[in-house]
Amino acid sequence: MGELMRRYWLPALLSEEIPGPDCAPVRVRLLGEDLIAFRDTNGKIGLLGEHCAHRGTSLFFGRNEACGLRCVYHGWKYGVEGNVLETPAEPLESDFRKKLRHTAYPCQEVAGVIFAYMGPPEKVPLLPCYEWFDLGEKQVFTVKSFLECNYLQGLEGDFDSSHTSFLHNNNIPDAARLKRDGAPMLETEETGYGMRAISIRKVGADQVYVRTSPFIMPSFSIVPGPPTSKFEEDDIRGFRFWVPIDDRTTWLYILNMRKKPFAAEERKNLRRWIGTGYRRIRNGANNYLQNRALQKATSYTGIEAVNPAEQDGCATESMGAIFDRSKEHLGQSDKTIIALRKMLLRAVNDLAGRMRDNRKGSSSRSKRSSSSNRCAEIAH
C-alpha cells in the first residue's frame, strides 16, 4: 500500500508551517519516512531526508540561509532538489559533493496545502486539478489534525453511512433525516477516480434520502451533506485527505471551501478543536472528555464535538492503532467498506504485479545485454 501511495501527490504539510523564505525548517513524517521541510530564500520548498548525508545529524537543527539548508555539524549545505551545494569542511578543491544526491521529494503548493510526490521520478503524475485549486487562498481553509490509528480505520468512516445515524446523532446538519433510518440500503459504483458509496434511507412514507460519498484514490474523500447555509456564497463544502504518517498514525486534512472568503475569526472557530502540534484537544488520553450526563440526555456519544471528526476519532482510535480485522463481524451495513477494501487491494495487487513484471523484464534485458556484452568482448 505504501508503494501505491507513493504514486500519488499527497498532502505533506500546510503552507502555514513554513510561512516565509528562510523560516525555521519543520519535521515531517510521511509514509514512515522522517523528512525535513523548508522554504528557501526564493520561496522554493524543499522536502529532504532528515539525516545529513555526511554523518547523520538531523537537518531539523539546520541553518536555512542563502538558498539552502545547512547542517549544523560540519556545514554541509543542501538545495531543495537534494544537491549538496557546499561541503566547507572538505578541501577547497574537493568535488566529492558532486557525486552525492540527498533524498529530496518534489513539492507543489496549492491553496495553503503543500503536496509531495514520493514515488519513482519517472512515474511522477500530474497534480490532479481539484475544483478548489481555482479558488482564492482566502476561500479555502484547511484544518489538520493528528489521528492515533492507521489511516484506513479513519478513512473507512467516510464510507460507512450507517454510523452517521448513531455516532453523530445530534450535531451534523442532516442528523434529523439520518436518524429516521439507521439501516440504509447501500450501493457502490466504481468511477475513474475511485468509487462512489451511496446510501439510501427511507425518511418518509414516499420519501428517500440519498447520500453519495465520493472516494478518490488513494485515500481521499468528500463527505456529503445538505448546504450549510441558505446563501450559496456562505455554503461550506469539504474535502478530506487521510495521509499515513506511518502504519499507526495519520494526518487528517479537512479542507473547507466556500465562495465567500473566510474571515480570521471564522478560521479560528473552525479549528477550535485543535490544540498545539495539530493534536486534538479531545483525544484518547482524556477519554475524549466524554460527558456521561450528556450521553444520557441528548448525545449518543456524550462527546460534544465542534467537528464530527472528534466523535469519529473516538470510534476509530479506540479500535487500537491497527485493528485485527480477523476479529471483525461484517454485516450488511459494511457493504461499502468491503467494496472500498476490495478496490484498494486490487490496486495494490495490480501495482505489485506490474512492478514484478518490470523487474523480470529488466533482469532478462540485463541478462541479454550482459550476454551480448560478453559476445562483443569475445568477438573483440
Query: What are the residues binding Fe ion (CB under 5 A)?
Result: 157, 312
Contact stretch for ligand FES (CB under 6 A) within 51-59, 189-197, 213-221, 244-252 = 51-59
Burial group, residue 332, by CB count within 10 angstroms (0-12, 13-18, 19+):
exposed
CA contacts within 13 A on the Cβ side of 340: 26
Partner in contact with 74, chosen from Fe ion, ligand FES, none, beta carbon below 5 to 8 Å by kind: ligand FES
Contact stretch for ligand FES (CB under 6 A) within 50-58, 166-174, 194-202, 365-373 = 50-58
Contact stretch for ligand FES (CB under 6 A) within 72-80, 112-120, 214-222, 351-359 = 72-80
Q: Tell me how far, at minimum, the Cβ of 96 lies from ligand FES, in Å.
A: 12
255 DSSP 8-state letter: E
Partner in contact with 312, chosen from ligand FES, Fe ion, none, beta carbon below 5 to 8 Å by kind: Fe ion
Per rule CB under 6 A, is residue 57 in the interface with ligand FES? yes
Per rule CB under 6 A, is residue 54 in the interface with ligand FES? yes
Per rule CB under 6 A, is residue 36 in the interface with ligand FES? no
Cβ atoms 247, 150 nearer than 8 A: yes
Contact stretch for ligand FES (CB under 6 A) within 69-77, 133-141, 202-210, 242-250 = 69-77
Partner in contact with 288, chosen from ligand FES, Fe ion, none, beta carbon below 5 to 8 Å by kind: none
Output 54 or 258, the one with its CB closest to ligand FES. 54
Q: Tell me how far, at minimum, the Cβ of 101 lies from ligand FES, in Å.
A: 15
Partner in contact with 45, chosen from ligand FES, Fe ion, none, beta carbon below 5 to 8 Å by kind: none
**Binds ligand FES (CB under 6 A): choice among 30, 45, 48, 71:** 71
Output 100 or 319, the one with its CB closest to ligand FES. 100
The DSSP code sequence of 121-156 is GGGPPPPP--GGGGS-GGGEEEEEEEESS-HHHHHH
Cis peptide before 173 (omega within 30 of 0): no
Per rule CB under 6 A, is residue 52 in the interface with ligand FES? yes
Output 87 or 311, the one with its CB closest to Fe ion. 311
Query: Which has the closest alpha carbon to 10: 38, 32, 40, 39?
Result: 32
As a whole number of angstroms, the distance between CA 120 and CA 230 comes to: 46
Partner in contact with 50, chosen from ligand FES, Fe ion, none, beta carbon below 5 to 8 Å by kind: none
State the residue for C-alpha cell 505504501: 2
Bridging pattern class, strands 84-86 and 207-216: unpaired
Output 49 or 106, the one with its CB closest to ligand FES. 49
**Residues whose CB is less than 8 angstroms from the CB of residue 88 and which lie 6 or more positions away in sequence, other chains included:** 74, 75, 76, 77
Output 89 or 289, the one with its CB closest to ligand FES. 89
- Measured from the Cβ of residue 114, the count of other Cβ atoms closer than 10 Å reads 21
| Coil, strand or helix at 267 | helix
Partner in contact with 260, chosen from Fe ion, ligand FES, none, beta carbon below 5 to 8 Å by kind: none
* Secondary structure of 156-218 as H, E, C letters: HHHHCHHHHHCCCCCCCCCHHHHHCCCCCEEEEEECCCEEEEEEEEEEECCEEEEEEEEEECC
As a whole number of angstroms, the distance between CA 354 and CA 350 comes to: 6
Q: Tell me how far, at minimum, the Cβ of 168 lies from Fe ion, in Å.
A: 6
Cβ atoms 308, 282 nearer than 8 A: no
**Binds ligand FES (CB under 6 A): choice among 9, 38, 60, 76:** 76
Per rule CB under 6 A, is residue 63 in the interface with ligand FES? no
As a whole number of angstroms, the distance between CA 143 and CA 333 comes to: 29
Which residues are near ligand FES by CB under 6 A? 52, 54-57, 71, 73-76
